[in-house]
Structure 1
Amino acid sequence: MKVLGESQNSEQHLAQGILFVISGPSGVGKTSIIRSVLERIEHVVFSVSCTTRKQRPGEIDGIDYYFVSHEQFEKMIQENKFIEWARVHDNYYGTPADMVYENIRKGFDVILDIDVQGALTVKNNFSGAKFIFIAPPSYEILRERLKKRGTESEEKIQRRLETAKKELTFIPEFEYLIINEDLEESIRNLSSIIFAERLRYERIKDIAKVRKLMEEVR
């Protein structure tokens, strides 16, 4: 049941939607936070990425990722089908452009969950997007979370931890930082960012009720 934001006037969402780019190390808890926000806030959709990595137990094609072959992915690159794409840990990841642009035009906010490399690419090529970094409380806690997943070998975990060290150095490139120590608090923090960005005057000044109010006081 969606309980946050129910009092917001739906007319506000006639404005163009916002692209929220969320990034952070693998295992930091991004998926859990995003899923809860999607359940609680209206007019927010998740952009499902394409990947060539193997499907993990419990993952659903078209919900968690679009799982494609290397050949399919490379064809999509040639056809300019992605807002951004990157090769990470021997696999491709990319954000399909059509879904993002279509939903933003319709007034829906779109959440991207992408790696830091991809986030920086979007930052350089997509004006108006909002960038949020989700970090672990400590490097040791991140190590424990990756091991608890039980989906990868020790060698792959070490590779992810080395990547995480590099990714954490890019925190200053992001507008918002959420340290995921308590899941519920992190969900509230991300929700607050979305609501605050929706209420920026520059976004809603052309909505009929806002224009009428401003005319009344002139």
Structure 2
Amino acid sequence: LEGVLDEDAVAEGLHKLGRSASGTEYVYLNLSLSGRELSDINILSRYVHLQKLELSYNKINDLSCISQMPYLLQLNASNNDLTTYFGFKPPKNLKEVDFSYNQIPKMQDLSAYQALTKLLLDFNNIAEIKGLEKCHSLTHLSLSHNRLTAIGGLENLPLKILNLSSNLLEKITGLDSLKALRKLDLSNNKITSLEGLEEHDLLEEIDLENNQIAELGELEYIQDLPLLRVLNLLKNPVQEQTDYWLSVIFMLPQLTELDLKKISVEEKVDAVNKYDPPPEVVAANDHMTQIMYGMLQPQRIFDSTLPSLDAPYPMLVLVGPLACGKRELTHRICRQFNNFFRFGPCHTTRAAYFGEENRLDYYFVSQEAFDKMLSTGKFIATFKYSGYSYGLGRDTVESIAREGLATCVHLEIEGVRSLKNTYFKPRYILVVPMNKQKYEGHLRRKGLFSRPEIEEAVSRVDMYIKISQDFPGYFDAVVNTDELDEAFTELRFLIKAYLGL
């Protein structure tokens, strides 16, 4: 009869000879009957020793014969005409079941199937996940191409692989308790946010292709997943963001693959150099900018390069953290040694603090004016600090050099790094408060700085000291500014030694 399984077909499909469960005889353990147009397989109720049964690509809608297979471990009934699933007495150790490509409209209670480790229900008509509460061994669940509108019914399952692609999901919910999750496929849904993926510390792969993720900020939800290696955001609006590729690589440095492409070491370096470059890279880029713009200007001899390139123009740089006393010390030096030094104010785009004067402390300029000076080669060195631009102007140094004097300036470390790339060979003196508690109190009393600015400044004290310790000779001397008068006395002694006085 057409569609009815007979003994001959069974004989053809039997394979893998092995011991029966009782161990008393040899029997066939596996049976493959794929693609035979079968609709009636009741004859299989006699084959009680089967452990693996392959029934895909048939027309089966009744699996009751499996009730007679107590030792069955694996069942593949995909691509059939099933409208219900597990319509049979549960084999005690049934582990893997594939019911994909059927017509199953809903999930039923699987409390009796506690040995299940893998359940595939792709391409059915399921609208709700349920009945899995007692499946304490289930590690792989796939429900792609169904009608799910929400994620639920998965509480405390030991799932490692979850595929919910091609459904109608708009939010990532219901995953909180899935702490063992390693691979998650949510592609082809309508998801707009990655909220709900945080704290899944074992997640290694996330597929979100063809969703509606639009903002790079969403990546913050998965930024701290330590084992995340593979992320797919193809066909999401976020891909249209400027510098999308490097931004994602920078925000998720643990990734090895993005959008189905391997991430190279060079791309990781490019991302860091773009968004959080090492200070030396920033300084080198600043220096290259000065050279490039300088070469575009009419060439002339600078007083600061005379009398010869072999004898570099003398310059004194006091370097240290915010409001550590370097401004006051610089001005005192220039007054005390006015036959040798003149103060060279930097240009800056920040506003003047209370008590600061234009041209005396800084040249306070707009960002537009600063950029124009930059593009016309007006700076020797530039740097950024606390979101503002700073630059040591060439005309400033030249005007002092024409008087036959040396330039004295004060900078943050960012400026020093930039200046060290130039042909100038200044003396760098680190002026730093050693008593951080006293320094913090001093900053607070000034009333000029916000709490974050104060915290940042205090934290940089350790950075300055560490640079001094880790790179001997980076600074020519270190002066403690806890007491400014004592600091000036020490500075004066150092400068006299430099000048041979």
After TM superposition, the score normalised by the length of structure 2 is 0.35
Give, in whole Å, the separation in 2 of the partners of 1:164 and 1:79. 35
- Please tell me whether the aligned partners of residues 50 and 67 of structure 1 are also in contact (alpha carbons under 8 angstroms): yes
2:329 to 33, 52, 56: 33
Q: For residues 74 and 163 of structure 1, do their structure 2 counterparts lie closer, same or farther at Cα, with a shift above 3 Å needed? A: farther
Segment of structure 1 superposing worse, 121-130 or 85-94: 121-130
Structure 1 counterpart of 2:314: 18
Tell me which residue corresponds to 1:97: 394
Correspondences of 1:1-218 after superposition (within 5 Å):
18-43=314-339, 44-171=341-468, 172=472, 173-199=474-500
* Deviation of the 1:193 alpha carbon: 2.2
Measure, in 2, the Cα distance between the counterparts of 1:137 and 1:46: 26
Q: Distance in 1 between matches of 2:416 and 2:398?
A: 16
Distance change (3 Å), C-alpha of 1:196 and 1:17: farther
Stretch of structure 1 that moved more, 178-187 or 85-94: 178-187
Q: 1:126 to 1:22 in 2, by over 3 A?
A: farther
Greater Cα radius of gyration, structure 1 or 2: 2
Q: How many residues align?
A: 187
Contact 1:16 1:106 in 2 (8 A): no
Corresponding letter in the other structure for 1:38: C
Contact 2:320 2:430 in 1 (8 A): yes
In the alignment, the residues of structure 1 paired with residue 496 and residue 377 of structure 2 have an alpha-carbon distance, to the nearest angstrom, of: 32
Within 1, Cα distance between the matches of 2:406 and 2:337? 10
Q: CA deviation at 1:133?
A: 0.4
CA RMSD of aligned residues (A): 2.2
CA offsets per residue over residues 150-205 of structure 1, 9 Å max, x none? 112212222323344433322242111111132222112222222222229xxxxx
Which SS does the other structure have where 1:124 is aligned? coil
Task: Give, in angstroms, the shift of residue 106 of structure 1.
Answer: 3.7
Give the ranges of 4+ consecutive aligned residues of structure 1 lying more than 6 Å apart after TM superposition. Answer: none
Matches of 1:194 and 1:104, distance apart in 2: 18
Secondary structure, counterpart of 1:25 in structure 2? coil
By how many angstroms is 1:96 displaced?
0.5
Deviation readout 1:102-126 (Å, 9 max, x if unpaired) = 4235421211101111112212313
Q: Which residue of 2 aligns with 1:214?
A: none
Farther-moved stretch of structure 1 (147-156 vs 86-95): 147-156
Shift in alpha-carbon separation, 1:16–1:106, aligned structure 2, 3 A? farther
Q: State the Cα distance separating 1:132 from its structure 2 match.
A: 0.5
Q: Which amino acid aligns with 2:379?
A: F
**Shift in Å at residue 21 of structure 1?**
1.1
Instruction: Output the CA distance in 2 between the equivalents of 1:127 and 1:68.
Output: 25
* Inter-partner Cα distance in structure 2 for 1:124 and 1:189: 28
Helix, strand or coil at the partner of 2:457: helix
Bigger relative contact order, structure 1 or 2, given CA contacts below 8 A and separation 6+?
Answer: 1
Give me the whole-angstrom Cα distance separating, in 2, the residues matched to 1:37 and 1:103: 15
Do the aligned partners of 1:17 and 1:103 also contact (CA within 8 Å) in 2?
Answer: no
Segments of 5+ residues of structure 1 without an aligned counterpart are 1-13, 201-218
- Deviations along 1:1-59, one digit per CA (max 9) or x if unpaired, are xxxxxxxxxxxxx9986200110011211112222222222221000111111112221
- Greater mean alpha carbon deviation, residues 190-199 or residues 155-164: 155-164
Could you tell me which amino acid in structure 1 is paired with residue 439 of structure 2?
L
Shift of 1:136: 0.4
What TM-score, normalized to structure 1?
A: 0.77
Structure 2 vs 1, CA of residues 57 and 189 (structure 1 numbering), >3 Å: closer, same or farther? same
CA distance in 1 between partners of 2:486 and 2:464 (Å): 23
Matches of 1:141 and 1:165, distance apart in 2: 14
- 1: CA distance, partners of 2:313 / 2:491: 16
